Amino acid sequence: MFSFLTIWLPIIFALIGIGFLVIGWRGRRIDHHPLCPRCGFDLFGKPELTNIVCPECGHTIATTFDVRIGHRQTRRGLIYLSLVLLPPSLLTLSIVSTLAARGVEWIQIEPVSWLVKTADAWDANGAADAAIDELDRRITKGELSAEQQNEVLDHALAVQGDMSGMNDPQHLSPPPNQRSWCILVEQARNRGKVSDDRWQRYAEQSVVFLLMSRPHVRRGDAIPFSLGQWQRCSESWFNPAYTLALEIDGQPVRVLPPNYDRPPGVYEDTSLQWFIEPTDPVYQKLAYGEHVAKVIVDVHTPGPSARNVLMAPRSTKKQIALTRLFIRAADKPSVTVDSDPKLKPQIEQSLHVRALEVANLGKPNAELHIRLDSDGSKRLPIDLAFRVTIRADGKDWPCTLPICFVGNLGPLGSSFTKVSNFHAKTADIILQSDPAAAARTLNIDHIWDGEIVLKDVPVGTW
């Protein structure tokens, strides 16, 4: 594969060099004397320039149109510039042609610095991935000196640890080709090319924690937080364990996962949303206005001899993530509602039940699971937050979790309820708007207010 730099750039420079040579050799006109077109003899002073014979070479000049006007002086600067451009351009073209004839790819002889620069660029044609693959090939084959290899690996670690585009959790912008650089380090480690110190640095940088909270919270509502995990390693690599502590304005607070408490310890899951309940003493003392929340995460990574954090000596690296929130007065709701009945038909057309299934837990107990989706081709006219009830055999079964949806960002979600002696083949799904559920999300502040009933939904088996 030959890139633009190796083919068209030399051609362009060669054409420019030829143009400079022609213009420089032709020169510029320095007077307007009539000259013999054959020998260039100066005919200045001749009274007539028709039907005359050149006294120098004997050429017959029939009309004034046969006369060449003006002496010319070569432009040495352009000639010298053409000599600067032409030789390297022609040499590069000859090398490329020879390599192409022999079936050798140019990328295999590109300097390491070129490959690194190509690999760092946003590229939709695969040139960046090809450059990283070539660097991996040279590391594997031992074609790089120790200094070059260490420079490549250190650059890969610098790209992995770059936090410049990670300040806003809502708009993450990691460096170009970050994952490909990570794979290069992992493959090099598998071949014994990465030192323990660099591998430990890679492990410590393999995950970034991003703290998000609801921007505006009404006094008396729970404060929802989301501790997002951005992995900076290949999908096949480890998930580090962690312990965390949350503070608001420097005061430690207790965080609770939804619906249940979990004792302090080492966690391996950051997919849950966390809450500070209104009963927390620190929360109760917060004044109205803006506050800074900080999470301190102790990330436990494996030692250099293993991948799995649970099977190797642990090292710990502390990470700190910040977010801001605003406490409103209790009479200022954080969620507003819209009761417009015209929205109901649009919402009903966009919603459908993907699955309603019963999972037996040992007779007569069971769990009934529901999953709602929206039509991705039709954007919902408003955000939704529903309290879900399943009605079957004359009984109402309230679901444990609400279902919320923002715009058209994929499925609404799922919920479940515990049932007993459940034998129905169909059921009705009752969706009732729930501002309290919306207030426990990160980003829903305006919802539709109403009720939707999805009738005769078939019940399947989990």
Residues 293-306 pLDDT 10s: 988 877 776 555 54
Which pLDDT score, from 0 to 100, does residue 29 have? 87
Tell whether the model's pLDDT for residue 33 goes beyond 90. no
Tell whether the model's pLDDT for residue 95 goes beyond 70. yes
CB 375 within 8 A of CB 349: yes
Alpha-carbon 451 to chain mean position: 39
Q: How would residue 316 be classed by pLDDT, with cut points 50, 70 and 90?
A: low
Tell whether the model's pLDDT for residue 267 goes beyond 60. no
Which pLDDT score, from 0 to 100, does residue 429 have? 93
- Give the pLDDT mean for 440-461: 90
153-190 pLDDT, tens digit each = 999 999 988 887 776 666 667 788 888 898 899 889 88
Residue 252 to residues 228, 274, 283, 320: CA-CA distances in angstroms? 20, 14, 10, 14
The percent of residues above 70 in pLDDT, for the chain, comes to 83
SS3 content of the chain, % helix, strand, coil (to 5): 30, 30, 40
Please name the CATH architecture into which domain 202-328 falls: Sandwich (2.60)
Count Cα neighbours of 437 within 13 Å in the Cβ-side half-sphere: 22
DSSP state of 311: G
Tell whether the model's pLDDT for residue 59 goes beyond 70. yes
* Residue 137, token pair as written in the block: 């090939």
Which pLDDT score, from 0 to 100, does residue 258 have? 47
Which pLDDT score, from 0 to 100, does residue 255 have? 66
Query: Which fold would CATH assign to domain 336-461?
Result: Immunoglobulin-like (2.60.40)
- Give the orientation angle of helix 127-141 with respect to helix 178-190, to 10 degrees: 10
Which pLDDT score, from 0 to 100, does residue 310 have? 37
Which pLDDT score, from 0 to 100, does residue 378 have? 66
CB 244 within 8 A of CB 295: yes
The more confidently predicted of residues 154 and 124 is 154
Supply φ then ψ for residue 250, to 5 degrees: 85, 0
DSSP state of 296: E
Tell whether the model's pLDDT for residue 1 goes beyond 90. no
* Tokens 């799904």 belong to residue: 429
DSSP state of 109: G
Whether 202-328 shares its CATH topology with 336-461 is answered: yes
80-89 pLDDT, tens digit each = 888 888 888 8
- Give the pLDDT mean for 10-34: 87
CB 403 within 8 A of CB 428: no
- Give the pLDDT mean for 179-206: 87
DSSP state of 18: H
Question: Where are the chain's structural domains?
Answer: 8-107, 110-194, 202-328, 336-461
Supply φ then ψ for residue 420, to 5 degrees: -140, 145
Tell whether the model's pLDDT for residue 390 goes beyond 50. yes
- Kindly provide the b/e burial profile for residues 275-293, where b requires at least 16 CB atoms within 10 angstroms of the residue's own CB: bbeeebebbeebeeeebeb
Q: pTM, whole model, 2 decimals?
A: 0.62
Tell whether the model's pLDDT for residue 349 goes beyond 90. no
Tell whether the model's pLDDT for residue 308 goes beyond 80. no
* Residue 318, token pair as written in the block: 């502390």
E strand residue ranges, 303-410: 314-328, 336-338, 351-360, 365-374, 384-392, 395-398, 403-405
Which pLDDT score, from 0 to 100, does residue 268 have? 44
Which pLDDT score, from 0 to 100, does residue 408 have? 56
Tell whether the model's pLDDT for residue 260 goes beyond 80. no
DSSP state of 256: B
Q: How far apart are CA 403 and CA 438, in angstroms?
A: 9
Instruction: Kindly report the average pLDDT of the chain as a whole number.
Output: 81
CB 299 within 8 A of CB 239: no
Q: How far apart are CA 161 and CA 179, in angstroms?
A: 11
Count Cα neighbours of 425 within 13 Å in the Cβ-side half-sphere: 0
